[in-house]
Amino acid sequence: MFRGISLANKCLLLFGGAVVLIVVAALAFPALRMWRLIDEAEIQRSRDLVDVWIELDDQHRRERPDSTGQPLFPALQVPALSDQRHAGINAERISVEQARRMRASDVFIAAALDAFEAEPRVTDHHAQRWQGITRLYDYARVERSAPSRITGLVVLRRQSLETFRLLWVGGIFFAAAAAAVLSLAVLVFYLITHRIILQPVRALKDTAERVREGNVAVRSDISTGDEFEELARTFNMMLTDLQSNQDRLRALNQAMDVKLHEMAESNTLLHESARLKGEFLANVSHELRTPLNSIIGFAELLLEQAKSEAGQEDVSPAIQRRVRYLSNIDTAGRNLLAHINSLLEMARIEAGRIDIQPERVVLRDACEGLLGLIHPLAARRGIDTRLEVQDDVPAVVTDIKKFQQIIFNFLSNAVKFSLPQERSGRVPEIVLRVDKLPPARPEEQMKVRVSVIDNGPGIPEEEQQRIFDKFYQVDAGHTRESTGTGLGLAICRELAHVLNCEIQLVSGVNRGSMFSLIMPLSLAASHAAEAALEARLRGTLSGGRPWSGDRE
């Protein structure tokens, strides 16, 4: 409502409106009272005129009961009283029968007669009304032979222009008084607001404008001895604090610039180190795989030859030792090759070299193949394996190689960490279970869960999140029984993210573990493209440029 209006004009408008209301309210009662007094004076005049008229009329009746209509008081210019008028007073006397006959045609006579009949103590009745600018006054006085017996009425009807004149003069006076009071009040308020209120406000506004322009050294100089001076003092203290804070921030910014420059140099070195590390890891791992494959191949040939010689009769202890040594070489070589492959896989993931090739996968067939691969290793350790697949599990669309890599890693870990029966007191068992998960909410889609369940030693609760970190193992001491790089579960987590899957772990000490891969029915093409883009970005940030991949 007041948007765009200055504070001074707002104050004037509001105060002027308030003063108008106050003046009108203050003068309304005197004006109404003046009007009432004028009417009361005119009614009293009518009463006095009727008294004079009655006295003269009664005197005339006593002196000339047989009046012929001739003037009785020529000096007073009194006409004959046959028409009941005297001395210019427009009054008449009517009997009660006449009054009752006039009741229907004369509203004033009817009201007066009703008032006199209703209350015997009432002696007169009056009414007034406007006719143009003329005020009409009607007056009636009752005549009684007894308190309850009305014999007649004396009625006076007259008009007055003096009433309008008095009201006009009084109205002009009140209007002039109101205008004078309003003008004086607005003038006084204008001077007060501009000198006491608006002038300090303008000074504070000018100071704030200069601060907004960037000059925090400016100060407000207001000496009014009131709240405005306290406000200016507080404002100056705020500016002082602001200036000191700016100085501190400027010093901190300079120090941060130096630190940022140092960090930029450090980041450059770190990126270069990460790039060199990635290249070194890729090159070394690749260069190790070639001779290691040769070592494993020759070890297998020698082992087969030694086993054929050991199968003959009369085997010497040297041949038996050679078979044992070659077996150890083959086992160690294969373990080392698995570690190198894990390092290469993690390097490939960190470099963003992940290709997603979705295809339709029948989970029963895929899980039977994985369980067939792990069965020989589990059988050598005395572990029972079992596959449980619900009949209504649908086929899924995903990258089958990465899916197999995740589930096979779960299976190999279950075999690796299962305790033999003589140590645990129970037959070690691994169950590969596939079931479907109904959606928790109507807007969600159905998912499939592939779980690897074992009855091994389990994982402590405080370690369940950390086992997915790189190079972390629950038993990290030198006496641990199961060797490994600690990259298997980290690789599974990264691959699950790429496949838009989720890994869940439920485990407890001496209660076994259940590693589950919860996967959607279909890998959306948009998610595959987004995952590939994210992988390339992470590779660029981690190594300075995308890794070129292993070279076969």
Pairing between β-strand 149-160 and β-strand 134-146 as defined by DSSP bridges: antiparallel
Judge whether 529 lies within some domain. no
Question: What letters, b where the CB count within 10 A reaches 16 and e where it falls short, cover 354-365?
Answer: bebebeebebee
Question: Could you give the CA distance from residue 228 to residue 50 in angstroms, rounded to a whole number?
Answer: 71
Task: Say which CATH number the domain at 456 has.
Answer: 3.30.565.10
Helix (H) or strand (E) holding 413: helix 400-417
- Residue 334 included in any domain: no
pLDDT tens-digit series, residues 403-435: 998 999 999 889 988 888 888 778 899 999 999
Cα distance between residue 203 and residue 219, in whole Å: 10
Question: Does residue 210 lie within any of the structural domains?
Answer: no
Within-domain flag for 276: no
Q: How many Å apart are CA 477 and CA 282, to the nearest integer?
A: 28
Distance CA 207, CA 221 (A): 9
Coil, helix or strand at residue 178 = helix
- Residues of the domain holding 455: 357-477+484-522
Please identify every stretch of the chain with a pLDDT value under 50, giving residue numbers as ranges: 67-87, 476-480, 544-552
- Residues 296 and 304: beta-carbon distance below 8 Å: no
- What is the rounded CA–CA span in Å between residue 10 and residue 21? 17
Query: How many domains does the chain contain in total?
Result: 2
Q: Does some domain include residue 352?
A: no
Q: What is the pLDDT of residue 71?
A: 37
**How many C-beta atoms surround the C-beta of residue 191 within 10 A?**
10
**DSSP H helical segments within 487-524, as ranges?**
488-498
Q: Which burial class, exposed, middle or buried, applies to 177 when counting CB atoms under 10 A from its CB (0-12, 13-18, 19+)? A: middle
CB 412 within 8 A of CB 489: no
Final residue of a domain: which of 181, 206, 223? 181
Q: Counting Cβ atoms within 10 Å, is residue 492 exposed (0-12), middle (13-18) or buried (19+)? A: buried
Question: CA distances (Å), 183 to each of 7, 8, 188, 194, 203, in order?
Answer: 20, 16, 9, 16, 28
The residue out of 157, 181, 205 marking a domain boundary is 181
What tokens appear for 418 in the block? Answer: 């299962």
Type of residue found at 266:
S
| Cβ partners under 8 Å of residue 275, min gap 6 | 543, 544, 545
CB 300 within 8 Å of CB 330: yes
Closest CA to 475 of 463, 487, 488: 463
What is the residue-wise DSSP string for 203-234? HHHHHHHHHHTT-TT-------SSHHHHHHHH
Tokens 């998960």 found at: 437
**Structural domain includes residue 538:** no
Position 65 in a domain: yes
Q: Residue 31: its pLDDT value, please?
A: 78
Question: Distance of CA 1 to CAs 4, 5, 49, 95, 265, Å?
Answer: 9, 9, 60, 68, 59
Q: Which two tokens stand for residue 129?
A: 């009304």
Determine the Cα–Cα distance for residues 432 and 406; give it in Å rounded to an integer. Answer: 13
3-class SS letters over 313-380: CCCCHHHHHHHHHHHHHHHHHHHHHHHHHHHHHHHHHHCCCCCCCCEEECHHHHHHHHHHHHHHHHHH
Buried b (16+ CB within 10 A) or exposed e, 31-56: beebeeebbeebbebbeebbeebbeb
pLDDT of residue 541: 55
Quick check: is 250 in a domain?
no
DSSP H or E stretch at residue 28: helix 7-63
Integer Cα distance of 490 and 308 in angstroms: 42
Structure tokens at 360: 């339709």
Closest Cα to residue 88, out of 99, 100, 78?
A: 78
Position 504 scores a pLDDT of 92
Among 150, 181, 212, the domain boundary falls at 181
Alpha-carbon distance of 203 to 221, in angstroms, equals 8
Rounded to whole angstroms, how far apart are CA atoms 111 and 153? 12
pLDDT tens track for 333-373: 777 777 777 766 666 666 666 777 888 999 999 999 999 98
The half-sphere exposure of 363 on its side-chain side, counting CA atoms within 13 A, is 30
CB neighbours of 37 closer than 8 A, spacing ≥ 6?
Answer: none
User: Which tokens belong to 130?
Assistant: 């406007």
Q: How many residues does the chain have?
A: 552
pLDDT given for residue 513 in this prediction: 92
Report the CATH number at residue 59: 3.30.450
Please tell me the predicted confidence (pLDDT) of residue 90.
76
Structure tokens at 459: 């994982």
Q: How far apart are CA 115 and CA 13, in angstroms?
A: 52
Global pTM reads 0.47
